Structure 1
């Protein structure tokens, strides 16, 4: 079962709508769905709420340490409440997925994500679950830092919101540990690109303005 859901982001109004705060967006939505309001808890350096789902305790956490120190919020809470890494779901922005896609994954590396890097270091383990929310890639590695700290255009934000909605629909399954069922709701596959109609040489010539 999932006992702790962590949304990653940066605190402050200047970062609120930036791509790097996709994890915050999702945990905010989870809190609204569960009818709770995370409050600042200085013991865990983050906005935290505790609730119960189907009789089981659940913690929501949004570290307020800035992204590259996220583990300094996550690890103390996990240790105090004896929450194992495999009972933690970390929700974060994902450069390697386009807006509108989301993937559920357990374990693995941090792939250069500073929030995951610090959680790895502070927990001493990478065996936690991740909900990866696609934000797309700028196409140039040197532009990544600016990309994640910018507000996405409206079309991208709508696509990200749609992916987050699928995650919300799978919330009960995620908490219950039915990751196979949750995955079937969260994951999407791109529709195949339609093949152009076959054309006869005469038809092609008739449609090609260079032949006029």
Structure 2
């Protein structure tokens, strides 16, 4: 069994914002695999279950708001008694160009408050994560405050790129489930996009 967590904020005004890219991937995975996402209060999450090529996975969207995502993830991991390498966390990353995906086995939170909360709640950073870039194509767009930018919707130009990266992220999740981390990293960490310094 695998646990796949997408990070975001639960209220409707955040639904299509950049910071909810993790939720968008989970929504697409659920839709493509006919999973019904249901609110499970003890996990503080929307949960769905899928079976992909004989591998079971729990899809989870914490409804704690981004900065408290760890509360939900810790409850889920404790209940299912899963080792951390069986967890994949999907989130946005302002330090990567839009359209870029980076999969890692472990690592620090890199300024992402949702990841920070999960690391704090689990007590370590030894879990896989998939970071999806949201840094603008035009660097001047970041002149606004960071919080305003990440909580804003994607532009028309960005939406096509985002739809493609969501498809790639879903495929990457399935490859990770079936073939493991090395194959997923080798296949999906290549390609366009840069880290923003």
TM-score normalized by structure 1?
0.83
Consecutive unaligned residues in structure 1, runs of 5 or more: 192-212
Please state if 1:52 is matched with 2:51. yes
Q: Report the CA distance between 1:153 and its aligned residue.
A: 0.4
Bigger relative contact order (CA 8 A; separation at least 6): 2
Match of 2:166 among 148, 164, 167: 164
**Does structure 2 retain, via aligned residues, the 8 Å contact 1:133–1:160?**
no
**Does structure 2 retain, via aligned residues, the 8 Å contact 1:70–1:119?**
yes
Q: Residues of 2 paired with 1:145 and 1:161: CA distance?
A: 22
Q: Report the CA distance between 1:141 and its aligned residue.
A: 8.2
**Does structure 2 retain, via aligned residues, the 8 Å contact 1:166–1:185?**
no
User: What is the number of equivalent residue pairs in this alignment?
Assistant: 190
Partner of 1:119: 118
Q: Report the CA distance between 1:142 and its aligned residue.
A: 7.1
Bigger radius of gyration: 1
RMSD of aligned C-alpha atoms? 1.9
Runs of 4+ in 1 over 4 A off after TM superposition: 137-142
Q: Report the CA distance between 1:83 and its aligned residue.
A: 1.1
Q: Residues of 2 paired with 1:183 and 1:141: CA distance?
A: 32
Cα deviation digits, residues 25-76 of structure 1 (max 9, x gap): 0000011111111100001001001233333331000000000000111101
Consecutive unaligned residues in structure 2, runs of 5 or more: none
